[in-house]
Structure 1
Amino acid sequence: MSLRAGFGLFGERGLGENRLGGVVRPAGELDPLLFWSSALLLLFGLVMVYSSSIAFAEGSRLSGHQAHFFLLRHSIFLVMGLVAGAIAFQVPVRSLQKLAPWLAGVGLLGLILVLIPHIGREVNGARRWIPMGFANIQPSELMKLAVALYAADYTARKLPDMKSFKRAFLPMFGMIVMVGALLLREPDFGAFVVISCIAFGVLFLGGLNARIFALLLVLALISFVLLIWLSPYRRERLFGFSDPWKDALGSGYQLSHALIAFGRGEWLGVGLGGSVEKLFYLPEAHTDFLLAVIAEELGFAGVLVVITLFAILVQRAFAIARRAHQLEHHFAGLVAQGIGLWIGVQSFINMGVNMGVLPTKGLTLPLMSFGGSGILANCLALAILLRIDWENRQPPRASGLGSFDMAAAHRVASPSREGMAP
């Protein structure tokens, strides 16, 4: 069995280095960089959702022409997410492993229900939401977390077979094909891309044969080309991306206005609340194109802050994963890597779309964009990540992990004596 040496893709040095450097943190302390980067992104997102949605809320009958409509709803979603996260933090990681297949099953059921007429709600030609009275549930957002848990459980159980195409790759491939078929029926190509990256990324980091992974990349490229070729609206998006100014009032409308927002912001922005593009020019300003509003109002400096916070969060996720693997907590380590991949890939795609580097995908900016299901799933994921970090630092019997490598625990808990004077 081999786990890929790339567990520490982002390194382990610096703050929180207690397992390698001998500096033991108090058992009750949360990872400060992970906690504060997450908190700042959530709070920053709340401010920018309000700023980007005021004009739309005032002019829409759906919001009752109330300027604070989206601020209030986003605040409620955020509180609900934090409460759910606080509850999830109390759940031992080994219990999550037992629940992982069931959560994946519930997620699949949600993806099926959303496609049934009179159950799923269709908006702008896409059927992605299930009305629940106060809010609409988007199953694909919750499925991202379910897949991160399921892929980690699957890979942890298949570690001895990671070199086998039949036993390691095919079952997970079948699962993702099934999920993809449901998502493409909505359609939600962006969610399919993120979920595929989570599942196969976890498999690769768990030791999947490099040749099998290379074959997967080739299949993914062929599938991507076919999906674009067979779908007129995806071809239109791709052509609009390649030259948004050619059809600035049609297929290139969103991207052209996003680029205008970036251009107006320059280095320091036009000031908080001063965006012009959010005044009914830039569609989905408070969801998919929130970063463009940040760029216009706070400039390159504001965008750089957002990128830095996401980079810190993803780095901490992989650092926590590395510690878990060193302690032989492979499921926990793979979950942390899956969450890091999820937030990293989705934020990268969203930023790329806003900057005109990638075609429009319909993905929100994690932790920041408006959306109840997304905020709930993000808060749950962060709570699980914090729980893994907390269990990494517990004595064997207190962690609730069940199996524990006692020799590894002794090594990481004791300061190294190399180089000490006799």
Structure 2
Amino acid sequence: MKAIEQALGWLRHRAGAADGAPAPRLGQPRELDLLVLWSAGALLLMGLVMVFSASIATAEGSRVFGNQPAYFLIRHAVFLAVGLIAGIMVFQVPVRAWQEMAPWLFIAGVVLLLVVLIPHVGRDVNGARRWLPLGVVNLQPSELMKLFAALYAADYTTRKLPYMHSFKRGFAPLASVILFVGFLLLKEPDFGAFVVICSIAFGILFLGGMNGRLFMLLAVVATIGFIGLITFSEYRRQRILGFMDPWSDPLGKGYQLSHALIAFGRGEWFGVGLGGSIEKLFYLPEAHTDFLLAVIAEELGFAGVMVVVVLFAVLVQRCFAIGRQAIVLERTYPALVAQGIGIWLGVQSFINMGVNMGLLPTKGLTLPLMSFGGSGILANCVTLAILLRIDWENRQVMRGTQP
């Protein structure tokens, strides 16, 4: 107990010194993790190209989008520019400041999830109310909540380190607020975001030293809850049936998956060529969002899909490597945030890829850093900026200078 208190006191002293630290110099590549920069940059640029390719037919064939082939390309480029500018600004903020703001950001996220459920305030799209209209753009609170959940769970775990083996004082309080967030997400409904946020929060708890028996109990309860959500929800049952045999009803509940599998089949090893997809021509729904990987598979083949998989694997590995380095330096909160980011990117990309390949039931989750969507791109860029800031501060501590 005394050792833990001393470690936390040292961490507070070190982090407090960062508040008056000079802004990091972005012009020095050696100050940052180049693998994070290159892998994230490649995914963002590849996403920009593939969103354009996947959305040309949809944009050109709809009066809603002005019959402009580049409609989604322009909007995605604007979102990307805004996200990069926001990321540069966020990079200047010390990690200590994020720890202080974490509870308030989490509360703000909960408020946004409540507001989006208010009739005539939240926007309905395809039977789901997940967006807040803000003039020319829509805000999706669940995307921001993923980041807020990672920041808050890391702060909570850091504060509760001595009680991580206690159900009442360590596990139960965080579990209660996360389940409340899950309830709000299921009301939208957004089951995919619920799974990702639970994975982030409880993954951070586990990495922070949560009792192994409690974690196993959580896994059992989560499995039972998952089965219950499917059993008592007609549309979720239909999705499971469509997943198990999409060809039994290829024009109904198996429509999306069957066309995604056709896209993968047509792509073979090296694809039909960039822009040559047939499935994106009004056959595959949400080709530029949820099923972007299927278009990549058709146009760039197995090789293109493997490039995406490897880039995500490198990025997730670097998240955990940066987190481990922070642990060595006794920087508990930054370590948990970095690893929480790794869980987020890893779980969400795995689910999206699994859905596209027919390994998981159809679920409305985008591919991080790549799929079209302003809220998602903004949240992803801000998250990467925080990760790079953690890495930068790690390097300053290793050099014996104040971060």
Work out whether residues 268 and 301 of structure 1, in 8 Å CA contact, stay in contact via their aligned partners in 2.
Answer: yes
Matched residues in 2 for 1:300 and 1:35: separation? 24
Q: How does 1:265-276 map to 2 (within 5 A)?
A: 265-276=267-278
Matched residues in 2 for 1:48 and 1:27: separation? 28
Give how far 1:30 is off: 1.2
Q: Which residue identity is paired with 2:303?
A: A
Q: What is the match of residue 110 of structure 1? A: 112
Matched residues in 1 for 2:64 and 2:225: separation? 39
Give how far 1:117 is off: 1.1
Matched residues in 1 for 2:390 and 2:58: separation? 40
Matched residues in 2 for 1:187 and 1:132: separation? 21
Give how far 1:227 is off: 0.3
For each residue in 1:156-209, what CA deviation from the matched residue of structure 2 results, as whole angstroms up to 9, or x when unmatched?
111111111111100011011110010000000000000000000000011000
Work out whether residues 316 and 346 of structure 2, in 8 Å CA contact, stay in contact via their aligned partners in 1.
Answer: yes
Q: 1:72 is paired with a residue of what secondary structure?
A: helix
Q: How does 1:174-189 map to 2 (within 5 A)?
A: 174-189=176-191
Q: 1:294 aligns with which of 289, 293, 296?
A: 296
Q: 1:319 aligns with which of 300, 321, 337?
A: 321
Q: What is the match of residue 119 of structure 1? A: 121
Q: How does 1:70-149 map to 2 (within 5 A)?
A: 70-149=72-151
Q: Which residue identity is paired with 1:74?
A: H
Matched residues in 2 for 1:362 and 1:395: separation? 41
Matched residues in 2 for 1:338 and 1:307: separation? 19
Q: Which residue identity is paired with 2:169?
A: R
Give how far 1:305 is off: 0.2
Q: How does 1:173-322 map to 2 (within 5 A)?
A: 173-322=175-324
Give how far 1:399 is off: 3.9
Q: 2:65 is paired with a residue of what secondary structure?
A: coil
- Superposition TM-score, scaled by structure 2 size: 0.92
Q: 1:245 is paired with a residue of what secondary structure?
A: helix
Matched residues in 1 for 2:58 and 2:363: separation? 22
Matched residues in 1 for 2:347 and 2:341: separation? 10
Work out whether residues 392 and 399 of structure 1, in 8 Å CA contact, stay in contact via their aligned partners in 2.
Answer: no
Q: Which residue identity is paired with 1:318?
A: F
For each residue in 1:128-177, what CA deviation from the matched residue of structure 2 results, as whole angstroms up to 9, or x when unmatched?
00000111000000000000000000001111111111111000110111
Q: 1:274 is paired with a residue of what secondary structure?
A: coil
Q: 1:57 aligns with which of 49, 59, 72?
A: 59
Q: 2:39 aligns with which of 37, 40, 44?
A: 37
Q: Which residue identity is paired with 2:154?
A: A
Sort the Cα spacing of 1:237 and 1:399 in 2 relative to 1 into closer, same or farther, 3 A. farther
Give how far 1:355 is off: 0.1
Q: Which residue identity is paired with 1:127?
A: R
Q: What is the match of residue 25 of structure 2? A: none
Give how far 1:29 is off: 2.0
User: Alignment identity in percent?
Assistant: 70
Q: What is the match of residue 352 of structure 1? A: 354
- Structure 2 unaligned runs (5+)? 5-27
Please provide the CA RMSD for this pair: 1.3
Q: 1:142 is paired with a residue of what secondary structure?
A: helix
Matched residues in 1 for 2:344 and 2:290: separation? 16
Q: Which residue identity is paired with 1:202?
A: I
Give how far 1:28 is off: 5.2
- Superposition TM-score, scaled by structure 1 size: 0.88
Q: 1:130 is paired with a residue of what secondary structure?
A: strand
Q: What is the match of residue 18 of structure 2? A: none
Q: 2:247 is paired with a residue of what secondary structure?
A: coil
Give how far 1:27 is off: 8.7
For each residue in 1:3-60, what CA deviation from the matched residue of structure 2 results, as whole angstroms up to 9, or x when unmatched?
9xxxxxxxxxxxxxxxxxxxxxx89521011110000000000000000000000011
Q: Which residue identity is paired with 1:213?
A: F
Q: How does 1:386-405 map to 2 (within 5 A)?
A: 386-395=388-397, 398-400=401-403
Matched residues in 2 for 1:399 and 1:139: separation? 35
Q: 1:393 is paired with a residue of what secondary structure?
A: helix
Matched residues in 1 for 2:126 and 2:196: separation? 21
Work out whether residues 31 and 395 of structure 2, in 8 Å CA contact, stay in contact via their aligned partners in 1.
Answer: no
Matched residues in 2 for 1:270 and 1:142: separation? 36
Work out whether residues 162 and 208 of structure 1, in 8 Å CA contact, stay in contact via their aligned partners in 2.
Answer: yes
Q: 2:387 is paired with a residue of what secondary structure?
A: helix
Aligned length: 378
Give how far 1:62 is off: 1.5
For each residue in 1:228-250, what CA deviation from the matched residue of structure 2 results, as whole angstroms up to 9, or x when unmatched?
01110000000000000000000
Q: 1:136 is paired with a residue of what secondary structure?
A: strand
Work out whether residues 259 and 356 of structure 1, in 8 Å CA contact, stay in contact via their aligned partners in 2.
Answer: yes
Q: Which residue identity is paired with 2:216?
A: A
User: Larger deviation: 56-65 or 258-267?
Assistant: 56-65
Q: Which residue identity is paired with 1:273?
A: G
Matched residues in 1 for 2:306 and 2:266: separation? 16
Q: What is the match of residue 159 of structure 1? A: 161
Give how far 1:395 is off: 4.0
Matched residues in 2 for 1:179 and 1:156: separation? 21
Q: What is the match of residue 150 of structure 1? A: 152
Matched residues in 2 for 1:256 and 1:399: separation? 55
Q: Which residue identity is paired with 1:228?
A: I
Give how far 1:391 is off: 0.1
Q: 1:131 is paired with a residue of what secondary structure?
A: strand
Matched residues in 2 for 1:220 and 1:351: separation? 22
- Structure 1 unaligned runs (5+)? 4-25, 401-422
Q: 1:280 is paired with a residue of what secondary structure?
A: coil
Q: What is the match of residue 337 of structure 2? A: 335
Q: 1:272 is paired with a residue of what secondary structure?
A: coil
Give how far 1:398 is off: 4.8
